[in-house]
């Protein structure tokens, strides 16, 4: 086989592998979540947009759990400030909401795993954007293999570069190149 032909075959195989990888990622984005028991031990929200926090608050208000852990909030964010920004939510007791300050998704997973272990939490509703859920699940399952996780993806519009970036991070995580 000539070098040129070998390069063509390698390029075709790489393109096929990349297409398969994207289809695997996209299928994970579009997967419908399994039903969670009611109530579940806790709701965990990964920050990144107000719709995620709102979805977590709505689940809390609906009785899906008695606890809400928000991972990845800014250092000055408080439960009272979150409730003040969402005054139409029927949750009025900020003591049901705890805040974590992880700086990335791997940090969210580690922070939540430690919080869950410290609080005897055995199952969570995981709330994050639909395009972010596949990688979040991989990292959470690595950090807390015994924690039962019920995905609660929030429909989010994202630009093509955002989707492509998240897919590349997902691929790196699947291949073990990401924490």
pLDDT over 80 at 103, yes or no: yes
Domain ranges across the chain: 3-174
CA angle 76, 121, 82 (to 5 degrees): 25
pLDDT in tens, 115-129: 999 999 999 999 999
Query: 3-174 is classed in which CATH architecture?
Result: 3-Layer(aba) Sandwich (3.40)
- The Cα–Cα gap between 163 and 179 comes to 20
Per-residue pLDDT band at 179 (split at 50, 70, 90): low
- Return contacts of 24-30, CB within 8 angstroms, 24+ apart: 24/174, 25/134, 25/166, 25/167, 25/170, 25/171, 26/167, 28/133, 28/134, 28/137, 28/170, 29/130, 29/131, 29/133, 29/134, 29/153, 30/130
Q: Kindly indicate the confidence band of residue 20, based on its pLDDT and cuts at 50, 70 and 90.
A: confident
Asked if 49 contacts 72 with a C-beta cutoff of 8 angstroms, the reply is no
Specify the 3-state DSSP secondary structure of 153. strand
- pTM, two decimals, is 0.89
What is the per-residue pLDDT for 111? Answer: 97
Nearest to 167 by CA among 27, 53, 52, 44: 27
Residue 62 has φ and ψ, to the nearest 5°, of -80, -5
């Amino acid at each position: 086989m000539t070098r040129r032909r070998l390069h063509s075959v390698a390029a075709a195989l790489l393109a096929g592998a990349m297409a398969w990888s994207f289809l695997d990622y996209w299928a994970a984005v579009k997967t419908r979540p399994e039903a969670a028991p009611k109530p579940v031990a806790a709701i965990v929200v990964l920050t990144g947009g107000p719709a995620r926090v709102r979805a977590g608050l709505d689940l809390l208000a609906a009785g899906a759990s008695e606890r809400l852990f928000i991972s990845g909030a800014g250092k000055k964010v408080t439960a009272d400030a979150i409730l003040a920004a969402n005054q139409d939510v029927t949750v009025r007791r900020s003591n049901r909401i705890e805040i974590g300050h992880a700086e990335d998704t791997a940090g969210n997973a580690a922070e939540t795993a430690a919080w869950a272990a410290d609080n005897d939490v055995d199952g969570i509703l995981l709330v994050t954007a639909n395009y972010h859920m596949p990688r979040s699940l991989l990292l959470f399952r690595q950090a807390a293999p015994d924690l039962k996780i019920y995905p609660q993806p929030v429909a989010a519009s994202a630009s093509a570069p955002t989707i492509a970036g998240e897919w590349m991070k997902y691929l790196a995580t699947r291949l073990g190149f990401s924490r």
